[in-house]
């Protein structure tokens, strides 16, 4: 089977590029920055379904993305989660949280208005993040 991105993830995000294991997506929701890592493996729903080497690679990529968000955006907290209740495809959220965001201190799910960034703001943030992600070894930006 060939990897394909779940349609809801495709609709709700902008592709930033690829790390060795994962696609890196930027959520369109006007909170964060909010990045999503999706291992390019077909038909997986849980981290423990990945082979052990891929589990370790996911942790390396997740840690690098979390550190980037913390450092570059001076986030008060980085929320990392793999829920998958609405989108069963394995994906891991990395959300830069701020004491000033509308959902603080609660979880983002169910505590935001769901507003999305306008296209110009999304495009500018995507370009900025592609540049920042290029500091992570193995990152290949999308074109």
> What domains are defined for the chain?
7-138 (3.30.428.10)
pLDDT band per the 50, 70, 90 thresholds, residue 74: very high
Across the chain, mean pLDDT equals 96
Q: Give the CA distances from residue 121 to residues 31, 68, 125, in Å, rounded to whole numbers and listed in that order.
A: 12, 20, 6
pTM: predicted TM-score of the whole model, two decimal places: 0.96
pLDDT band per the 50, 70, 90 thresholds, residue 110: confident
Sign for the pseudo-dihedral over CA of 133, 134, 135, 138: positive
């Amino acid at each position: 089977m060939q990897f394909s991105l779940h349609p809801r993830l495709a609709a709700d995000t902008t592709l930033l590029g690829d790390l060795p294991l994962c696609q890196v997506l930027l959520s369109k929701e006007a909170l964060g920055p909010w990045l999503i890592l999706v291992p390019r493996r077909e038909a997986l729903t849980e981290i423990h379904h990945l082979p052990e080497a891929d589990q370790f690679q996911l942790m390396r990529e997740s840690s690098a993305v979390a550190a980037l968000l913390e450092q570059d955006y001076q986030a008060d907290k980085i929320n990392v989660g793999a829920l998958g209740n609405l989108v069963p495809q394995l994906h891991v959220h990395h959300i830069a949280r701020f004491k000033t965001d509308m959902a603080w201190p609660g979880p983002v799910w169910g505590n935001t208005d769901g507003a999305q960034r306008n296209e110009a703001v999304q495009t500018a943030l995507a370009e900025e993040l592609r540049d920042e992600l290029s500091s992570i070894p193995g990152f290949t930006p999308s074109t």
